[in-house]
Chains A and B, each alone.
Chain A
Amino acid sequence: MYDVIIIGAGVIGTAVARELSRYQCSILVLEKGEDVCAGTSKANSALVHAGFDAKPGSMKAKYNVQGSMMMEELCGKLDVPYEKNGALVLAFSGEEKETLELLKKQGEENGVMDMVILEKEQLREKEPAISEEAEAALYAPSAASVCPFLLTIALAENANENGTEFWFEKEVTHIQKRQEGYEVKVSSYGNSGKQESYLGRNIINCAGLYSDKLHNMVSKKSFEIIPVKGEYCLLDKNEGTAVSSTLFRVPGKMGKGVLVTRTVHGNILLGPTAESISDKEETATSGEGLKKVLTDTKHTVPGLNTGMVITSFAGLRAHERNGDFIIGEAEDAPGFFDAVGIESPGLSAAPAIGAALARMAAGKNNYRKKEVFREERKGITAFASLSPEEKEAIVKEKPAYGNMVCRCEMITEGEILEAIHRPLGAKSLDGLKRRVRTGMGRCQGGFCTPKLVEILERELDISKLRITKTGGNSRLLTDEK
């Protein structure tokens, strides 16, 4: 029997786990995927929104602004790349200019600091690549970019270091109220669907797209998640200097529109589209979607070389039909806590949601704080970011850093070994990619894939035929001589 079972190891589940691991309680995280950050957390705009979008008084507004304020410090403690590059909302007409004023007012009501309206000249001075047609912009300097993979991984590692257990490839199929707490039934991958069950005094539902399903298993007050698909294109780093801030258009009916942003790793990211769909697994891109992303962003930044796309992908937002975050204990299911409907600005809000849910669960159960909580975590040393002297030193100390595996992103075997052997380490190609960016460069894994397979085979001591792209049935090879 665990004190708390957290379902879902996305950015919300891991943020809750880390915060809760400050307390004296036993915590288990169950995750359907083979790694953390496998669902809605992995494919989004990688932004820390300032918080002017959400309606004042909404949960989204509250947690976004709080989370955004906590993010920089959190990223500092967890050694996660964070860049406060600011956001601009561009107005292309007089009417849109009026909307900027409304947005600014709304932002101020939400508690967003330091917003200003930039006129055409100031705007062009700030971002010379922006379309001539942009008349003005709302500038929010507190907006930032963060790496969602590394943030989620860091939260999970830190929670794990503080005693949280993680189980992967465990898909929750049933939750039942018991005399004390809940019984959570899971089917685990590779165990031919055999059912296992775990007991938890409290449950925290951070299951993203499936958070409605889990909630509805124990509560009569039902929720409904409607997946909203967003398609993206990522450009080569050569295009990375085109813009420095995140560029939004004045929002329309279907969300914030297609944006242009620079990731913390220096790639330009374009997207997302917004399309309500019915299948919660349909992360497929479409011809029309990708075309829309490229045409719309060309309108914002006409000089953008959209021929430099290195990859495209689609993510699903977990939109609850009433449009707001649902955070807290379910009315008719004591000890069952929800984080439901966490769509954008969910990544921005994650630190605040994590802290709030942990506080609620700890408060209800009177958990006491641990005497020792290790709140800092060190990331994997990125060889490419070191000075020549540091490079020399690390190669001397750890010779594996002297073996370059990924040519595009200059990633060494040393980093790959660390990614595999850390707590909750990488088990697949995507696991490595998310930790050390192998295959994220312009060749998209063309050169390094065979080498990575070889290293995974050796370090995990399994046949290369069992190495996957991202767990489950995503095997890379079918036969061997």
Chain B
Amino acid sequence: MIEKKELTCIKCPRGCGILVETEQGRIISVSGNQCKNGKEYAEKEATNPTRVLTTTVKVLFGTEKVVAVKSKDEIPKEKLLPAMEQIKEVQVEAPVILGETILEDLCGTGIPLVAAACVARKKLP
């Protein structure tokens, strides 16, 4: 049996409507997308939807209280909330450099959590 899924592409602000047809989890056709990224997104979204997770982590001894972090790559959508639980326990010490790895492996996905901003160490008075 062929299954049809209507999706809205989230790859860019255009937000194209895409129709994906699958048969037993296999992609048969993708239509409505206006670019290559759209096709990729739709194929993934229909079979194994993924997202980049962005949040913050508490910073010790920093000029800021928290630092923005993100999953270095997309992780399965259903891992977003479990990953948040894992991140909740994490604290980092300043200085933090943009791009530095905060966690090696988010919820067994193999994808690391990295800093998305820099935080300097607070100068002692």
Judge A-B direct contact (beta carbons within 8 Å): yes
Contact of A178 with B by CB under 8 A: no
Contact of A481 with B by CB under 8 A: yes
Interface residues in A, total, Cβ within 8 A: 1
Q: What is the interface residue range for chain B against chain A?
A: under 10
Give every chain B residue within 8 A of A481 (Cβ-Cβ).
56, 58, 65-66
Give every chain A residue within 8 A of B65 (Cβ-Cβ).
481
A481, B68: Cα distance in complex, Å: 13
Contact string, B42-81, partner A, CB cutoff 8 A, digits 1/0?
Answer: 0000000000000010100000011000000000000000
A481, B64: Cα distance in complex, Å: 12
A32, B73: Cα distance in complex, Å: 55
Residue of B nearest to A454 (CB): B65
Closest approach, in angstroms, between the C-beta of A355 and any C-beta of chain B? 51
Interface residues of A, dominant DSSP:
loop
Interface residues of B, dominant DSSP:
strand
Give every chain A residue within 8 A of B58 (Cβ-Cβ).
481
Give every chain A residue within 8 A of B56 (Cβ-Cβ).
481
A481, B66: Cα distance in complex, Å: 8
Residue of A nearest to B58 (CB): A481
Residue of A nearest to B66 (CB): A481
Closest approach, in angstroms, between the C-beta of B3 and any C-beta of chain A? 42
Closest approach, in angstroms, between the C-beta of A83 and any C-beta of chain B? 43
Closest approach, in angstroms, between the C-beta of A103 and any C-beta of chain B? 60
Give every chain A residue within 8 A of B66 (Cβ-Cβ).
481
Closest approach, in angstroms, between the C-beta of A160 and any C-beta of chain B? 34
Contact string, A450-481, partner B, CB cutoff 8 A, digits 1/0?
Answer: 00000000000000000000000000000001
Residue of B nearest to A481 (CB): B58
A481, B56: Cα distance in complex, Å: 9
Closest approach, in angstroms, between the C-beta of B59 and any C-beta of chain A? 9
Closest approach, in angstroms, between the C-beta of A342 and any C-beta of chain B? 47
A481, B58: Cα distance in complex, Å: 6
Of residues 116 to 131 in A, which have CB atoms within 8 Å of B's CB atoms? Answer: none
A170, B69: Cα distance in complex, Å: 46
A481, B57: Cα distance in complex, Å: 8
Residue of A nearest to B57 (CB): A481
Residue of A nearest to B56 (CB): A481
Closest approach, in angstroms, between the C-beta of A97 and any C-beta of chain B? 63
Closest approach, in angstroms, between the C-beta of B64 and any C-beta of chain A? 12
Closest approach, in angstroms, between the C-beta of B74 and any C-beta of chain A? 25
Closest approach, in angstroms, between the C-beta of A467 and any C-beta of chain B? 15
A481, B65: Cα distance in complex, Å: 9
Closest approach, in angstroms, between the C-beta of A272 and any C-beta of chain B? 43
A303, B65: Cα distance in complex, Å: 49
Closest approach, in angstroms, between the C-beta of B96 and any C-beta of chain A? 15
A481, B84: Cα distance in complex, Å: 13
Closest approach, in angstroms, between the C-beta of A344 and any C-beta of chain B? 47
Contact string, A213-237, partner B, CB cutoff 8 A, digits 1/0?
Answer: 0000000000000000000000000
Of residues 19 to 60 in B, which have CB atoms within 8 Å of A's CB atoms? Answer: 56, 58
Contact string, A437-449, partner B, CB cutoff 8 A, digits 1/0?
Answer: 0000000000000
Closest approach, in angstroms, between the C-beta of A51 and any C-beta of chain B? 55
A481, B67: Cα distance in complex, Å: 11
A481, B90: Cα distance in complex, Å: 10
Closest approach, in angstroms, between the C-beta of B125 and any C-beta of chain A? 14
A481, B55: Cα distance in complex, Å: 12
A434, B24: Cα distance in complex, Å: 66
Closest approach, in angstroms, between the C-beta of B90 and any C-beta of chain A? 10
Closest approach, in angstroms, between the C-beta of A463 and any C-beta of chain B? 13
Residue of A nearest to B65 (CB): A481
Closest approach, in angstroms, between the C-beta of A447 and any C-beta of chain B? 18
Interface positions of A (Cβ within 8 A of B): 481
List the 4 closest A-B pairs by CB distance, nearest first.
A481-B58, A481-B66, A481-B65, A481-B56
Supply 4 A–B pairs (Cβ within 8 Å), ascending by A: A481-B56, A481-B58, A481-B65, A481-B66
